[in-house]
Structure 1
Amino acid sequence: MTYLSPLGYLLGVEGAALLRGFRERSADRAFVEARIAEIRTLLDTPALAHAEGETAREGTISTAEVYRSWAPHYDSPGNQMIDLEQPVVRRILDGLPVGTALDAACGTGRHTAHLHRLGHRVTGVDASPEMLALARERLPDVGFHQADLHDLPLGDNTVETVVCALALTHVPELAPVLAEFARVLRPGGHLVISDAHLLVSYLRPTLPRQPDPEGHPTLLAEYHRPLSAYLAAALPLGFQVRHCEEPRRPLRSLAPDTAPDPLPAHMSWDLLHWCPEASAAALDDSPVAVVWHFQLEDTGKNSTKD
């Protein structure tokens, strides 16, 4: 059970701003005193001080349920994770040989479409029928299959490239999924992975979702990992690191004179307008995602690098 408090979250942002300022030697006296004054103001603001939080339970809503509601607007402009992740992934894909490709957890087919434009013979796989319906509408001449990442509907050694974007955060263990990627890849094949960065899980608000049968808001179970976890799962399978990049949140601070929005009914990014300077100090230029380019070892061929 997690108690989600709007005031608690804002105080956490203030604390993160102070700690980062101390660590990066950017917290002068004026900044520190401004944060302390703002904390006092937040504590004394009736809309925040008297706002009830929500007690939420994790794991009582499934990934399938969440993506069912996300599907219609998943690709809408303004999804910052996609905006930052996509150019990095596509830059890697643009440098790979054209061949047979798999978009694993393809969603609405955004990376599938790019692989298709590059000339790959591409297959898309996803567990969400709602997301697949949008992918099929976008790319009617591409083969899509509903399947789990642990049991891909492809034979051994059948593709040269596998892409898996922003999906592994929903997988409890990395090793079985990466082993499945290694199974379908040909020796020397390429694996491009993107995932939410561990730091995001500490700095973003946790969004409660529809109530469970007992009336408690629900939290989607997510698995955020340090970078070492990807290496621990990939290297024993024969994957070699070709590139790793951590796209960062742009310097796009909220204007200090921005009027606070009305208090949301639950924790959301809208809360950041209550402390724009602290939000900028805590969040700007922080890693949002991690993108890995691995290549499956092939002692009989020359490997390529970015």
Structure 2
Amino acid sequence: MVDRYRPGVAYEHPLAYVLGLEGLALLRSFRGEHDRAFVAERLAEIRRLLAESPDGVEVAHVDPVEGYDLWAPTYDSPNPAFDFDEPFVREIAGRLSPGVALDAACGTGRVTAVLAECGHRVVGVDSSPGMLELARKRLPDGEFHVGSLTELPSGPVDLVTCSLALTHVPDLGPVFAEFARVLRPGGCVVIADVHPEQVARGHVPAVRRADGAPGRVLSHCHRTGDYLRAALAAGLEPVRCEEPAAPAREIPASEPGPWETWPWSLAGLAPAAAQAAGAGVPSMILWEFRN
């Protein structure tokens, strides 16, 4: 009997992911980035991988509120994305005159704290009570509200920031319209998000649900043009767009590791392919808009 696809549930198989990396590496070889020996090594590695039979895992796509409440206690653990968004926000917020800054989807207040350090009066909004509890402890003098990206405090504000959240929104249009609504004339919107190429490759937050079942925070792959079209429709003009990539690094051979470390740990099953497939691929997409 053939298993049927169940909406909201993904079947994650280590071999499927690693063969995908091999395919991406071979495509780059096909256009001339690697030589005959590299191709031969990849084909031999694929044959070896096909002879193995690891187990897959069924993973539920969980609502962002549930997912971030579960993630809250460990959210501030080291995360490479923080190396991109915090300096970007700090650079922009630091050159603006101190004003009112709204951190939309503020989470634990990590970016809100950067805004406060730059002299702004901060307002944080998040849909996760667990995240907000930590934000209030981080910034006791901050103003924090439970709310959604489409129902922000009335404003007006001088600066809106939103980091690592818009991938969880199915439609960017209403969110950008809300950003524009609360912004003063001449105000600034700063967006930092996981790059759509990374989302397409399955780099999505993993959580264990209350019953121990694996889950990933429901995410959507918004292309670069999707952000731009939503912003322009809301009357926001792009000032800056950056798509930084993580520095190249050697990937050691390793075992798959526990499910929570997938797909990142799976690269160790085919290090050369993973390195070739990921070379130069952006990690984040960073935007600055003005109204």
Picking from 248, 251, 273, the partner of 1:251 is 248
1:110 is matched with 110
Listed one character per residue, the Cα deviations across residues 247-305 of structure 1 (whole Å, up to 9, x for unaligned) are 212101213xx4x2265357432221111111111113211111110001xxxxxxxxx
DSSP-derived class of the 1:233 partner: helix
The match for 2:126 is 126
- 2:3 corresponds to: none
Q: What is the CA deviation profile of residues 209-238 of structure 1, one whole-angstrom value per residue up to 9, with x for unaligned ones?
A: 55799x985443211111111111111221
SS in 2 for 1:199: helix
> 1:177 — aligned with what?
175
Whole-Å separation in 1 of the counterparts to 2:136 and 2:94: 23
Out of 264, 270, 282, the position equivalent to 1:287 is 282
Equivalence for 1:50: 53
CA distance in 1, matches of 2:216, 2:124: 28
- Give me the whole-angstrom Cα distance separating, in 2, the residues matched to 1:146 and 1:136: 12
C-alpha contact (below 8 Å) 2:22/2:42 kept by paired residues: yes
Aligned residue pairs total 282
Partner of 1:84: 84
Instruction: Report Cα offsets for 1:148-167 as digits up to 9, x if no partner.
Output: 11111223xx1110001111
Change (3 A) 1:18 1:89: farther
Change (3 A) 1:281 1:113: same
Paired with 2:219 and 2:287, the residues of 1 have a C-alpha distance of 19
Which structure 1 segments of 5+ residues have no match?
297-306
What are the ranges of 5 or more consecutive residues in structure 2 without an aligned counterpart?
1-5
The answer on whether the counterparts of 2:204 and 2:217 sit within 8 Å (CA) in structure 1 is no
Are the aligned partners of 1:253 and 1:284 in contact in 2 as well (CA < 8 Å)? no
CA distances 1:12-70 after superposition (whole Å, capped 9, x unpaired): 111111113334x31111111111111112122xxxx2222134454xx2111111121
Contact 2:159–2:187 (CA<8 Å) still a contact in 1? yes
Q: Distance in 2 between matches of 1:287 and 1:3?
A: 26
Q: Report what 1:72 is aligned to.
A: 73
Structure 1 residues 87 and 284: CA distance shift in structure 2, 3 A: farther
Decide whether aligned partners of structure 1 residues 201 and 265 sit closer, same or farther in structure 2, where only a CA change above 3 A counts. Answer: closer
For the aligned residues, what is the CA RMSD? 2.2
**2:159 paired residue number:** 161
Corresponding position of 1:301: none
Residues 84 and 248 of structure 1 are in contact (CA less than 8 Å); yes or no, is this contact kept in structure 2?
no
Distance (Å, rounded) in 1 between the aligned partners of 2:276 and 2:187? 41
1:20 aligns with 2:31: no
Instruction: After TM superposition, give the deviation of residue 8 of structure 1 in Å.
Output: 1.1
Distance 1:123 1:262 in 2: 42
1:300 maps to none
Kept in 1: contact 2:70–2:209 (CA 8 A):
no
Contact persistence 1:166–1:196 (CA under 8 A): yes
Is contact 1:129-1:146 (8 Å) kept?
A: yes
Gap change, CA 1:177 and 1:205, over 3 Å in 2: closer
Alignment correspondent of 1:299: none
Deviations 1:141-198 (A, max 9, x none): 111111111111223xx11100011111111111111111111100110000111111
For the residues of structure 1 that align with 2:209 and 2:56, how far apart are their CA atoms?
14
- Equivalent position SS for 1:135: helix
Q: CA shift at 1:94, angstroms?
A: 2.3
Aligned CA distance change for structure 1 residues 179 and 217 (closer, same or farther; 3 Å)? same
Contact 2:85 2:192 in 1 (8 A): yes
SS of the residue aligned with 2:185? strand
User: Whole-Å Cα distance in 2 between the matches of residues 219 and 185 of structure 1?
Assistant: 32
Whether the 8 Å CA contact 2:115–2:122 is kept in 1: the answer is: yes
Task: Give the TM-score of the pair, scaled to structure 1.
Answer: 0.85
CA distance, structure 1, for counterparts of residue 29 and residue 152 of structure 2: 46
Identity of aligned pairs, percent? Answer: 48
Q: Is the 8 A contact 1:105 1:167 kept in 2?
A: yes
**Residues 113 and 192 of structure 1: CA distance in aligned 2, closer, same or farther (over 3 Å):** same
Separation of aligned partners in 1, 2:216 and 2:121: 38
Pair 1:270 & 2:270 matched: no
Q: 1:93-115, CA deviations, whole angstroms, 9 ceiling, x for partnerless residues?
A: 22223211111111111111111
